[in-house]
Amino acid sequence: MEALSKQLNSSDAPLQLLLFVDKRPTASERIRQIRTCLKELAEHEGDYELQVVDVGEQPHLAEHFKLVATPSLIKIHPEPRQTLAGSNLVAQLKEWWSRWQRSVEEVSVSQRSAEVARFSQGDESIQSVAHSAELIQLSDEIFRLQREKEELQAQLQFKDQLIAMLAHDLRNPLTALSIALETLEQLKQTPKPETGSRFNPELMTQLLRHARTQTKAIDRMITDILQAARDKSAEFRIQPRELDLGRLCLEVIDRLQEQFQAKSQRIKTDIPSDLPKVYADRERVKQVLVNLLDNAIKYTPEQGTIAIAILHRTTQKVQVSICDDGPGVPPENQKSIFEEQFRLKRDEAKDGYGIGLALCKRVVRAHYGQIWVDSAPHQGSCFHFTLPVFRPISLL
């Protein structure tokens, strides 16, 4: 805005226009049409200056001029300001051009009549322009500070919500862990009679396994919370490298074996041996796999089946699919589940924060991939995401 203000203030053109466009394919043609029309109109009468603004690069200007659509053509001088918008800008411009020229002439007459007063009063008009430019700069700075304030308030609110959810959701696994440990302690302290012993190795093994599962659940919650807080307040970055996606997927499956076994779930894999390497951040992709498999474990019933498949979908993309036997996702919620803190009503009593799938979406999008779900009520869900194929740089 500061640079634009300087350009406009230094311009001698009696008619000053701003053309706001976006990055749509038709933008270049729109600009060409407007420039051609202005050139033809100016040959008959008047002089002008046109500045083209890309709203994607300078969104604060769109906010400042209160734009509701693009392309838009704004007459900013002489006053009063006027905005033309829509697909028929050329026709509107031709209609308004003569009136704009009359307003330019009126301003010129007014300026000439005030020439003597201007000399007597000094360069007040110059000071006024400088003052206006300074006001615009201050307005932009206030707008920027307001945006920063809103972002900080959103971050604080988000972290407050995370802390509240952590305090609530930790109760269930902590209670289960405490019960398992107390039971183990009682079994350990109970004297072993010659007959009817309460000491049961199978029960102790089961309790230990349950305790480990709950400990991992707590660790997973804390990890998710810290990751979400960090990613919310910092720039989301990835460090892509050549990656063996099939091997990484098998490592994650092995890591989650105890959780599969706890519910007697069957795991089916379809990972081709000739799968190409992908270009991705290993730790970030591992987060996606763990989150999606955690969800599959959570929603697949005992003795259900979870399927993991990797497909070389195109020459440019590899697709990962993780399917479960769970209750499915209602069609109206299949896009919303990837939004931050969105949770289905049926899941409000379950552990979790509604941030796992949102994190998956951010990771996949950072790799220029896509993530989506195919599901139907009571027929399970299949979560899919794509990653780019690794292309080695040729030195020839």
Note the pLDDT tens digit of each residue in 1-43: 555 555 555 556 778 888 888 877 778 888 888 889 888 888 8
Residue-averaged pLDDT of the chain: 77
Note the pLDDT tens digit of each residue in 115-145: 545 544 545 555 565 666 677 778 778 878 8
Residue 230 has pLDDT above 70, yes or no: no
pTM above 0.85, yes or no: no
Q: How far apart are CA 131 and CA 134, in angstroms?
A: 5
Higher-pLDDT residue of 275, 237: 275
Stretch 339-363: mean pLDDT, rounded?
61
Which pLDDT does position 87 carry in this prediction?
A: 76
Residue 285 has pLDDT above 60, yes or no: yes
**Do the Cβ atoms of 388 and 336 come closer than 8 Å?**
no
Stretch 351-369: mean pLDDT, rounded?
76
Using a pLDDT cut of 90, give the percent of the chain over it: 19
Lowest mean pLDDT of 169-173, 200-204, 317-321, name the range: 169-173
Return the CATH fold of 241-388. Answer: Heat Shock Protein 90 (3.30.565)
* Domain 149-189+198-233, second-level architecture: Orthogonal Bundle (1.10)
Residues forming beta bridges with residue 31, ordered by sequence position: none
Q: How far apart are CA 254 and CA 251, in angstroms?
A: 5
Note the pLDDT tens digit of each residue in 317-346: 999 999 999 888 888 877 778 876 544 454
Q: Nearest 10 degrees: CA dihedral of 270, 276, 282, 285?
A: -50
Distances (CA, A) of 25 to 29, 30, 31, 73, 124: 8, 10, 11, 18, 45
Instruction: Reply yes or no: is the peptide bond before residue 59 cis, omega within 30 of 0.
Output: no
Which pLDDT does position 305 carry in this prediction?
A: 94
**Do the Cβ atoms of 311 and 321 come closer than 8 Å?**
yes
Residue 309's pLDDT band, with cuts at 50, 70 and 90, is: very high
Which pLDDT does position 42 carry in this prediction?
A: 83
Stretch 253-272: mean pLDDT, rounded?
91
Tokens of 279: 């270009």
Residues 6+ apart with CB under 8 A from 174: 214, 218
CA angle 356, 295, 165 (to 5 degrees): 50
Q: How far apart are CA 125 and CA 122, in angstroms?
A: 8
Distances (CA, A) of 65 to 5, 239, 290, 317, 344: 13, 39, 46, 42, 40
Residue 188 has pLDDT above 80, yes or no: no
Sheet of strand 317-323: strand arrangement: 266-270, 305-311, 317-323, 381-388, 371-375
Residues 6+ apart with CB under 8 A from 391: 279
Using a pLDDT cut of 70, give the percent of the chain over it: 73
Residue 102 has pLDDT above 60, yes or no: yes
Higher-pLDDT residue of 249, 226: 249
Which pLDDT does position 348 carry in this prediction?
A: 47
Return the CATH fold of 2-113. Answer: Glutaredoxin (3.40.30)
Show me where the domains of the chain are located. 2-113, 149-189+198-233, 241-388
Which pLDDT does position 396 carry in this prediction?
A: 43
Stretch 292-311: mean pLDDT, rounded?
92
Q: How far apart are CA 362 and CA 365, in angstroms?
A: 5
